[in-house]
Amino acid sequence: MTIHKEGYTSIALCILFIFVVNALIQFYMPEANTLKWIVYILSALLFFIILQFFRSPVLTLNAEETQVLCPADGKVVVIEETVETEFFKDKRIQLSVFMSPINVHINRNPISGIVKYFKYHPGKYLVAWHPKSSTENERTTVVTENSEGVAILFRQIAGALARRIVWYVKEGDQVLQGHQFGFIKFGSRVDIFLPLNTKINVEIGEVVKGGRTVLAELPSVGTFVDIDEVPDEMEIPDFTKPSEAKLSDEHGEPTMVVEHEEKPKRRANRQAKTAPKEKFGKPKA
């Protein structure tokens, strides 16, 4: 167990606050022993709460291509079919995890792949369980596509207490399942949007763990066929022979012209930070 780098400032401010309060009581009320003990106990409790909030546990990762790992500690509050309007613009299965102030608030990549889309949205600070918090609160949107071309969208959503969202990814990054992509301070929510034919492994109200609980299993687009099962009338190309594709002679000599058009990348309004290094346990045999 270690302390996350996002907690250093908060822990330092907490220690300073506790020191000032205890010093003032000791100076102005030196004989109020009962009050001093109450303040000592409350100070220790406050320090413990802040310290455990920024804890960073050591994980054992067993990454699978089609599995969707939970992006955060918390409780499943939404499983429903809905229309995702920002990127996919079609029907998806929405799965939402609510993080209370006592949960670990590290956010982890649900799958491995390439970040195809990233955007930061400034917004309101409605309570995290409010129906409109997914579209009106301050949030980030990340779309990651795995090696089979299956993409999922997930959002960090700020809540009434969580006024700071931190992210470590940007468009074009290659990310690893279970590794950190961000952090939200003091309670919030994460939404995940999955294909309709995804198998959901959790239920509403279930307590889940970031980087450990398998929320769902994605459909696999890869299909392997035994060569003996291929029909006789199907022609199988021989890739060991040179291609006989007809070439263009538009430029005087037989040539093949391939044109590429580069698309401009979207940029977030704020700079992505660097993910902190962390320890991982050995995978189970």
Q: What is the pLDDT of residue 225?
A: 44
Beta strands in the chain (DSSP E): 2-3, 55-56, 59-60, 67-69, 74-84, 90-99, 106-108, 113-121, 139-145, 151-158, 165-167, 174-175, 180-184, 188-194, 199-200, 207-208, 214-217, 280-281
Tokens describing residue 235: 């022609």
Q: What is the pLDDT of residue 163?
A: 61
Q: Is residue 239's pLDDT more than 70?
A: no
Tokens describing residue 147: 């090696």
- Better-predicted residue by pLDDT, 129 or 202: 202
pLDDT band at 269 (very low <50, low <70, confident <90, very high): low
- Rounded to whole angstroms, the Cα distance separating 279 from 180 reads 11
Residues 98-153 have pLDDT tens digits of 988 777 778 899 999 999 999 998 877 676 566 666 677 788 999 999 988 999 99
pLDDT band at 227 (very low <50, low <70, confident <90, very high): very low
Q: What is the pLDDT of residue 162?
A: 54
Q: What is the pLDDT of residue 33?
A: 83
Q: What is the pLDDT of residue 196?
A: 93
Tokens describing residue 1: 């167990």
Q: In the predicted model, what is the mean pLDDT of the chain? A: 78
Report the percent of the chain where pLDDT is more than 90. Answer: 30
pLDDT band at 223 (very low <50, low <70, confident <90, very high): very low
Residues 33-47 have pLDDT tens digits of 888 888 888 888 888
Give the chain's radius of gyration (CA, Å). 25
Distance of CA 53 to the CA centre of its chain: 18
Distance of CA 8 to the CA centre of its chain: 22
Distance of CA 13 to the CA centre of its chain: 28
Only one residue has tokens 């299956």, namely 150
Tokens describing residue 150: 């299956």
Q: What is the pLDDT of residue 97?
A: 92
Q: Which residues are CB-contacts of 177 (< 8 A; sequence separation ≥ 6)?
A: 61, 63, 64, 67, 69, 109, 110, 111, 112
Q: What is the pLDDT of residue 96?
A: 92
Q: Using alpha carbons, select from 49, 26, 76 the residue that is nearest to residue 205.
A: 76
Residues 2-27, mean pLDDT to the nearest whole number: 79
pLDDT band at 75 (very low <50, low <70, confident <90, very high): very high
Candidate from 84-93, 163-172, 187-196, 273-282 with smallest mean pLDDT: 273-282
Report the percent of the chain where pLDDT is more than 70. Answer: 67
- Better-predicted residue by pLDDT, 269 or 183: 183
The 3-class secondary structure across 110-141, one letter per residue, is CCCEEEEEEEEECCECCCCCCCCHHHHECEEE
Using N-to-C axis directions, what is the helix angle for 33-53 and 8-28, rounded to 10°?
180
- Strand 280-281 and strand 59-60: the pairing is parallel
- Rounded to whole angstroms, the Cα distance separating 74 from 253 reads 65
Catalytic amino acids?
A: 188
